[in-house]
């Protein structure tokens, strides 16, 4: 099978206006993945499925990933004029890398017996622009997994035939697998609290009173 770089070049040749990047995996497994831009994802997916020598007819797994905003501290050297003298000053600069939500598709070919090819689609941010194109029309097996991602991460899949919550009930609020999900504070007494629950157990009013904390 073609390597991720060869596949990227081939996809760019087939879809000149699409943006395809390779994300290398430094681990020994070296499963590199392709980052697609959402606008062309459905076309590229159809191409991967229908090209006779690729024939990725099976999407085995769809996963959600939450990347919160990250603060990155960098040391840079700037030339500054101090007391009329030009000096190189080392400065620490913090910049914020915006977060995003990601859907990861693992594709295999049953016909050609090769794979996996990993596709990643990223949303623009984590709050309001969380729409991605659904690949369920291309691979039917994505249906429930995209519903699960919608349920737990809050990615809205455009073009999904039946986008509802899968694991939680319909009236549930929030997306529990997001890093910033605040679970209801329904801590109650337990015999051997540890870690975060030890802190909760030591709180005044928790555990000492018989009444359970209202959620």
Partner 1 sequence: MTEADEKTIQDLRRSGILLTTLEDLYNWGRSNSVWPLQFGLACCAIEMIAASMSRFDIARFGSEVFRPSPRQADLMIVSGTVTKKMAPQVVRLYNQMPEPKYVIAMGACAISGGPFKQGYNVLKGIDRYIPVDVHIPGCPPRPEALLHGLMELQEKIREQNLTGENRPRHLRSDVSGEFPVPEFGTCDLEPPSNPAVWTPPEPIREGL
Which residues lie near partner 1 (CB under 8 A)?
167-174, 176, 181, 183-184, 186-191, 197-198, 201-202, 207-208, 210-212, 215
> Smaller CB distance to partner 1: residue 21 or 190?
190
> Smaller CB distance to partner 1: residue 108 or 187?
187
The least CB distance from residue 133 to partner 1, in Å, is 28
Label each residue of the chain as H, E or C. CCCHHHHHHHHHHHCCCCCEEEECCCCCCCCCEEEECHHHHHHHHHHHHHCCCCCCCEEEEEEEEEECCEEEEEEEEEEEEECCEEEEEEEEEEEEECCEEEEEEEEEECCCCEEEEEEEEECCCCCCCCEEECCCCCCCCHHHHHHHHHHHCCCEEECCCCCCCCCCCCCCCCCCCCCCCCCCCCCCCCCCCCCHHHHHHHCCCCCCCCCCCCC
The least CB distance from residue 150 to partner 1, in Å, is 16
Strand partners, 107: 59, 117
The least CB distance from residue 100 to partner 1, in Å, is 23
The least CB distance from residue 167 to partner 1, in Å, is 7
The least CB distance from residue 3 to partner 1, in Å, is 40
Q: Which two tokens stand for residue 71?
A: 């603060």
> Smaller CB distance to partner 1: residue 88 or 186?
186
> Smaller CB distance to partner 1: residue 87 or 181?
181
Strand partners, 102: 65, 122
> Smaller CB distance to partner 1: residue 13 or 182?
182
Cα 168 versus chain centre, distance: 20
The least CB distance from residue 16 to partner 1, in Å, is 45
> Smaller CB distance to partner 1: residue 81 or 215?
215
């Amino acid at each position: 099978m073609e390597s991720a770089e060869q596949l990227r070049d081939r996809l760019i040749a087939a879809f000149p206006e699409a943006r395809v990047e390779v994300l290398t995996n430094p681990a020994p497994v070296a499963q590199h993945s392709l980052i697609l831009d959402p606008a062309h994802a459905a076309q590229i997916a159809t191409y991967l499925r229908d090209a006779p020598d690729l024939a990725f007819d099976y999407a085995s797994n769809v996963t959600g990933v939450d990347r919160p905003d990250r603060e990155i501290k960098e040391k840079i050297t700037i030339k500054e004029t101090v007391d009329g003298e030009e000096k190189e000053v080392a400065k620490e600069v913090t910049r914020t890398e915006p977060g995003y939500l990601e859907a990861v598709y693992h594709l295999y070919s049953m016909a050609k017996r090769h794979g996996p090819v990993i596709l990643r689609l990223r949303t623009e941010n984590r709050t309001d622009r969380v729409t991605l194109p659904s690949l369920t029309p291309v691979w039917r097996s994505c249906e429930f997994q995209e519903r699960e991602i919608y349920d737990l991460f809050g990615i809205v899949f455009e073009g999904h035939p039946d986008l509802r919550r899968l694991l939680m009930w319909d009236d549930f609020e929030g997306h529990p697998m997001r890093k910033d999900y605040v679970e209801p504070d329904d801590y109650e007494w337990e015999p051997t609290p540890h870690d975060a629950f030890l802190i909760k157990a030591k709180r005044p009013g928790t555990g000492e009173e018989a009444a359970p904390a209202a959620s």
